[in-house]
Amino acid sequence: MISRRVFVKSGAMAMVSLGFAPSFLARAAEGATARRKLLIAIFQRGAVDGLNMVVPYGEADYYKLRPTIAIPRPGEAEGAIDLDGFFGLHPRMEALKPLWDNSSLAIVHACGSPDQTRSHFDAQDYMETATPGIKSTRDGWLNRCLQSIGSDTSPLRGVALTRQMPRSLQGHAPTLAVGNVDQFNVRGGMDAERQLETAFAGSSDSLLNGSAKSAFEAMRTLRGSTSGPYTPRAGVEYPRSPFGQALQEIARIAKANVGLEIAFAEATNWDHHVAEGGTQGQIAQRLDDFARGLSALAGDLGEQLSDTVILTMSEFGRAVAENGNRGTDHGHGNAMLLIGGPVKGKKVHGKWPGLGADQRFEGRDLAVTTDFRDVFAEVATRHLTLSPEALNRVFPRYAPANALGLIRS
């Protein structure tokens, strides 16, 4: 499927940029640059309150049902940042406004799962496997994407900047979960490393054997391409938070040109049942970190952003009305963000269902009008160039809807 011209050109480029290249390194680099498309998936674990993130300030019910935590309308003190006359960003997300203005930020609102669970665990599982309602799915949708868009076995094609492998990336395609690139090394010298590599290669357990093989290969590749401390592009400043640091590591690996195709990071702590806050307080702090991190990543990627899509997701939204503790309970529909050159930005996509009593899901939550898989599938096909035949494998039991028009063709 990869045209010979692209392959030769990028393969040659990779060789030049890396100087001497052991075979595994060249293989990884070829796999990467031949494709050059990058998807960065960000999971907001704990169910972000999408109605305070992308505020439907044009809805009277929004203010009626959230007496203490609503974000004021644009123009009012600490008001939302107006996007299109109806929706506004939380005021602490101003770092993303330039991306909106230059059309590289799009939003899909009232998006979510056809499954109705309000369990974090299940909903995350369903989103990460992209099989809502089916618990037996073993692998994650991002891993199935990797399986379908190439056959290279470098684990650096799919990297999660998390200590544990997220469900989204679990599966047969080798992937890597690593907290930090610098710590990804066996201490004790080359002898120790060789001894352990041999021992694991001899293990009959396929999980141990395969994981170790991936580890040693990736270690060598990274060692060859990311030595020394990392300096982001001038003027770019990542938040010092775990989220900000994870995004910085993604940029570092992406720029090292080692074959990264799908990266994954997570932003945690969104489960605000109590004292969620509005323009100030818990959610404001979390969104501030979130927006500044994404903005830094986009800025740091520079030119590479034109081949990159950053996609944010969260397991479900939160109830329209605030609860008795000035927080919000588990809800349904939510907002997803897409950032990048290929994104048809400056638009809130999807059909807005309204927040009126009869428009709400089960009378309480934002209804879902866009299946989250519609967004995933469009990113996979139009950006990662997944073939229509492979779509069924990545999204089993899913009938593709009309494209939302999120990605420029």
Partner 1 sequence: MRTNMRAIAAGFVILLAVVAVGPTTPAASIPSDRGAVEHALNRLTFGPRSGDVERVQKMGLSAWIDQQLTPSRVDDSALASHLPPIPAKPATVNSPQEARRYGREAVQALAAQKVMRAIYSDRQLEEVLVDFWFNHFNVFAGKGRTSQFIPEYEREAIRPHVLGKFRDLLEATAKSPAMLFYLDNWLSADPEAAERFAAQRQQRVGARGQQPPNAQQRRRGLNENYGRELLELHTLGVDGGYTQEDVIEVARAFTGWTIGPPEPAGGRGRGNRGRRVRQGPQTPRPAMDADPGNAQFRFMAALHDTGAKTILGQHIKSGGGMDDGERVLDIVAAHPSTARHIATKLVRRFVSDDPPAALVDRVAARFRETDGDLREVVRAVITSPEFFAAEARRAKMKTPLEFVTSAVRASGRDVTDATPLLNALRQLGMAPYMCQPPTGYDDVAETWITAGALVTRMNVAQQIAGAQRASTIGGPEFQKR
In the complex, which residues of this chain contact partner 1 (CB under 8 A)?
45-46, 67-68, 116, 118-122, 135, 155, 163-165, 170, 174-179, 183-188, 192, 195-196, 199-200, 202-203, 205, 207-209, 211-212, 214-215, 218-219, 268-269, 273-274, 323-327, 329-330, 362
What count of Cα atoms within 13 Å lies in the side-chain half-sphere of residue 67? 3
Min. distance of Cβ 164 from partner 1 in angstroms?
Answer: 5
1 or 207, CB closer to partner 1?
A: 207
238 or 361, CB closer to partner 1?
A: 361
Min. distance of Cβ 45 from partner 1 in angstroms?
Answer: 8
The Cα–Cα gap between 58 and 354 comes to 10
Min. distance of Cβ 169 from partner 1 in angstroms?
Answer: 9
Min. distance of Cβ 187 from partner 1 in angstroms?
Answer: 5
262 or 339, CB closer to partner 1?
A: 262
315 or 371, CB closer to partner 1?
A: 315
Cα dist from 299 to 99, 176, 233, 238, whole Å? 10, 25, 8, 10
- How many residues belong to the chain? 409
159 or 377, CB closer to partner 1?
A: 159
51 or 177, CB closer to partner 1?
A: 177
Min. distance of Cβ 400 from partner 1 in angstroms?
Answer: 29
59 or 271, CB closer to partner 1?
A: 271
Buried b (16+ CB within 10 A) or exposed e, 10-34: bbeebeeebeebeebbbbbbbbbbb
Min. distance of Cβ 183 from partner 1 in angstroms?
Answer: 8
Min. distance of Cβ 118 from partner 1 in angstroms?
Answer: 7
Min. distance of Cβ 395 from partner 1 in angstroms?
Answer: 21
Min. distance of Cβ 209 from partner 1 in angstroms?
Answer: 8
12 or 208, CB closer to partner 1?
A: 208
209 or 359, CB closer to partner 1?
A: 209
The Cα–Cα gap between 296 and 289 comes to 11
